[in-house]
Amino acid sequence: MTDVSSSSLTILTGASRGLGLALARQVLQRGGTLLTLSRQPLQALAAEAAQAGATLIQWPQDLADAPAAAARLAAWLRGQGPNAYASATLINNAGVIPRIGALMDADAADLANALRVGLEAPLLLSAAFLDATRTWAGPRKLLNISSGLGRRPMAAQAPYCAAKAGMDHFTRCLALEEAARPHGARVCSLAPGVVDTDMQHQLRSASPQDFPDQSRFAALKNQGHLASAEDTARRLLAYLARPDFGAEPVADIRDAS
């Protein structure tokens, strides 16, 4: 029998900035192997990986082409073998808010891109991950970065709300499927709270005419209610490490003790 490696594998989408970049940095500090799928690989991350003694693989990957990304991930995972890593985790973090406004005013290509990156890619990457690692020896976890807006409707946010609601619900389905399997993966769709990233900037920079809730997002920033990406990443990774990770397939980091 082949020995199981002691090294962990984390796969992360959207590591170029915001929450994804903070997650990537903290995963690298823990060592092991990090595979990122981002449109732009970052030189700075490579340097941080070398310093931390971690292995970093950066794939330049546009997640709007989800079938290509999923096929590439499946092939790569199959090439690793069931004992290559002590544990395997997929974090679907990349997300897009298309131009903010009423659905009837939206551009079709912009809508399609948001749904491809925000829903199709996480679904297809989850399928590829669960299939290719089903015989792996170590624990497998799937963390989908969702949003409160997947659970609460908001005018001018229909495509983003739809993508996150879809993410929550497919995660509930996966939780049932994996619970019925021996050595099934543990899965969770987790809302990260309000985080000080470009996405929040996009929300508070929208026109109040197009976005009735614009002033609420401006106030969140002005009143200092945004969490930093670094602090949120720390909390998300701590949640991922909990022994009961996956007990709730849909959760909010703000409710975590």
Residue among 7 and 113 whose Cβ is closer to ligand NAP: 113
Interaxial angle between packed helices 229-241 and 18-29, expressed in degrees from 0 to 180 and rounded to the nearest 10: 60
Q: Which of 90, 108, 91 is nearest to 99 (CA)?
A: 108
Task: Report d(CA 14, CA 156) in Å as an integer.
Answer: 24
Three-state DSSP at 80 gives helix
Q: Which is nearer to ligand NAP, 133 or 200 (CB)?
A: 200
Instruction: Look at strands 140-145 and 87-92 and give their pairing.
Output: parallel
Q: Choose between 10 and 93: whose C-beta lies nearer to ligand NAP.
A: 93
Q: Is 246 left (phi over 0), alpha (psi -120 to 50) or beta?
A: left
Residue closer to ligand NAP by CB (options 121, 137) is: 121
Closer by beta carbon to ligand NAP, 71 or else 179: 71
Smallest gap from residue 207 Cβ to ligand NAP (A): 19
**Residue among 62 and 248 whose Cβ is closer to ligand NAP:** 62
Least gap, CB of 58 to ligand NAP (angstroms): 12
Q: How far is the CB of 246 from ligand NAP (least distance, A)?
A: 19
| C-alpha distances out from residue 27 to 32, 48, 156, 158, Å | 8, 11, 34, 32
Report whether 51 contacts 67 (CB < 8 A).
no
Binding stretches for ligand NAP (CB under 6 A)? 14, 16-20, 38-40, 62-64, 93-96, 117, 145, 147, 191-192, 194-195, 197-200
Residue number of the CB closest to ligand NAP reads 18
Residue 241 CB, nearest approach to ligand NAP (Å): 19
- The nearest distance, CB 51 to ligand NAP, in angstroms, is 22
Spatial distance between the Cα atoms of 33 and 109, rounded to a whole number of angstroms? 35
Kindly state the smallest distance separating residue 145's Cβ from ligand NAP, in Å.
4
Return d(Cα 88, Cα 47) in angstroms, integer.
23
